[in-house]
């Protein structure tokens, strides 16, 4: 079955990457090779079984009620799992694939209706800032590959648009659960078909017949509502233990998006007195004026950063995520100020 592809403002390199992957998908090997994002370590090449990719693709198509000849938009890098899986879904579901350059606003130059698209949060934020009405071109939009902020959800609400936030990881190939955000916002993620969950000491355990041989214990803290629904609380490997108080950086970051409009993240670094102290990493050459009392009201006194570090430009992974590990390794060369 030949894939119906239309290239719109896609560079020759992007076109070549798409065609190259299709050849890899159609060859005699029973696996494909992908590069991990490197957001929690050194990027590496891994092999994914094509049969597992098909299971994942079919479950996404079913969950979103996508049908043959629906139009899908590929606007993610073909060097990522997310980009490759958009092609796989199009092949498996016999969708019409529209390919554009993976830019910050991939809808520029597009004026046709799109049934299905996948984007990272930064792309959605840029589209809303440029011309939010463009999002109405997309019937079903999934957002993943990075943290979805409270501010982004609020912005989606303001324009009366509902999207789906994804939850997944490399081991599960793609997402295993989605939740509505925006005009309709759900507190919980809902599992794809055949997927079910357990909770062990607040950590999520995933069962995915057809992809996982055994249950996968994750580093994600959750509140389990049922075997197929959960509320995500944060990651255990990012938890900061400061003076005996456990602080979830992602929860703090989500709240701070209401007062910080440049890229940033929260982290913990060793401290003789506290064991670990909270710091704020900001991508900016100019210092930001913070009101300590205002911060306390937003995130609580224990989560207020002891020090702010300013970096001209954060290093990012190929999928656009901030490479926290490498950025933290450069602390000694950054400008900083204490706010306490």
Residue 320 confidence class, pLDDT cut points 50, 70, 90: confident
Q: Are residues 160 and 302 in the same domain?
A: no
Strand order in the sheet with 96-99: 5-7, 96-99, 71-74, 114-119, 138-143, 162-168, 175-182, 189-191, 229-235, 216-226, 203-207, 196-200
| Residues 19-36: tens digit of each pLDDT | 999 999 999 999 998 876
Average pLDDT of the residues in 312-332 = 83
Average pLDDT of the residues in 184-210 = 94
Q: Are residues 245 and 185 in the same domain?
A: no
82 located within any domain:
yes
Tell me, what's the pLDDT at 42? 56
Least confident of 83-87, 126-130, 236-240, 263-267: 236-240
Residue 43 confidence class, pLDDT cut points 50, 70, 90: low
- What backbone phi and psi angles, to 5 degrees, belong to 94? 55, 50
CATH number at residue 262: 3.30.300.30
319 located within any domain:
yes
- Asked whether residue 5 carries a pLDDT value surpassing 80, the answer given is yes
CATH number at residue 127: 3.40.50.12780
Answer whether 308's CB lies under 8 Å from 290's CB.
yes
Tell me, what's the pLDDT at 50? 96
Q: Are residues 161 and 280 in the same domain?
A: no
Q: Are residues 259 and 153 in the same domain?
A: no
Per the structure, the count of domains in the chain is: 2
250 located within any domain:
yes
pTM for the complete prediction? 0.78
| Residues 132-189: tens digit of each pLDDT | 999 999 999 999 987 788 889 999 999 999 999 999 988 899 999 999 999 999 999 9
Q: Domain span at residue 131?
A: 5-193
156 located within any domain:
yes
Tell me, what's the pLDDT at 36? 66
Q: Are residues 187 and 244 in the same domain?
A: no
Least confident of 36-45, 125-134, 184-193: 36-45
Q: Are residues 157 and 252 in the same domain?
A: no
Q: Are residues 189 and 308 in the same domain?
A: no
């Amino acid at each position: 079955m030949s894939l119906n592809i239309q290239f719109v403002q896609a560079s020759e390199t992007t076109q070549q990457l798409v065609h190259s992957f299709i050849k890899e998908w159609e060859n005699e090997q029973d696996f494909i090779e992908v590069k991990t994002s490197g957001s929690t370590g050194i990027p590496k090449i891994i092999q994914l079984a094509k049969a597992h990719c098909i299971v994942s693709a079919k479950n996404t198509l079913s969950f979103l009620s996508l049908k043959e000849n629906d139009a899908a938009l590929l606007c993610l890098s073909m060097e990522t799992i997310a980009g490759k899986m958009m092609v796989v879904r199009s092949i498996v579901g016999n969708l019409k694939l529209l390919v554009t350059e993976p830019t910050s606003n991939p809808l520029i130059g597009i004026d046709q209706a799109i049934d299905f698209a996948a984007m990272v949060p930064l792309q959605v934020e840029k589209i809303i800032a440029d011309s939010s009405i463009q999002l109405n071109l997309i019937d079903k939009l999934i957002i993943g590959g990075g943290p979805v902020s409270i501010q982004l959800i609020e912005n989606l609400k303001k324009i009366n648009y509902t999207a789906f936030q994804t939850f997944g990881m490399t081991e599960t190939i793609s997402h295993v659960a989605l939740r509505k955000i925006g005009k309709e916002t759900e507190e919980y993620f809902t599992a794809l078909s055949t997927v079910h969950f357990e909770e062990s000491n607040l950590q999520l355990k995933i069962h995915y017949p057809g992809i996982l041989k055994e249950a996968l214990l994750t580093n994600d803290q959750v509140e389990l509502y049922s075997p197929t629904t959960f509320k995500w609380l944060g990651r255990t490997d990012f938890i900061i233990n400061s003076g005996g108080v456990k602080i979830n950086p992602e929860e703090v970051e989500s709240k701070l998006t209401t007062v910080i409009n440049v890229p940033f993240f929260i982290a913990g670094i060793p401290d003789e007195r506290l064991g670990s102290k909270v710091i704020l990493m900001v991508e900016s050459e100019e210092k930001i004026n913070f009101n300590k009392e205002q911060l306390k009201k937003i995130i609580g006194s224990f989560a207020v950063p002891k020090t702010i570090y300013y970096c001209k430009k954060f290093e990012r992974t190929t999928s656009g995520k901030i490479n926290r590990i490498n950025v933290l390794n450069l602390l000694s060369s950054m400008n900083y100020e204490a706010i306490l």
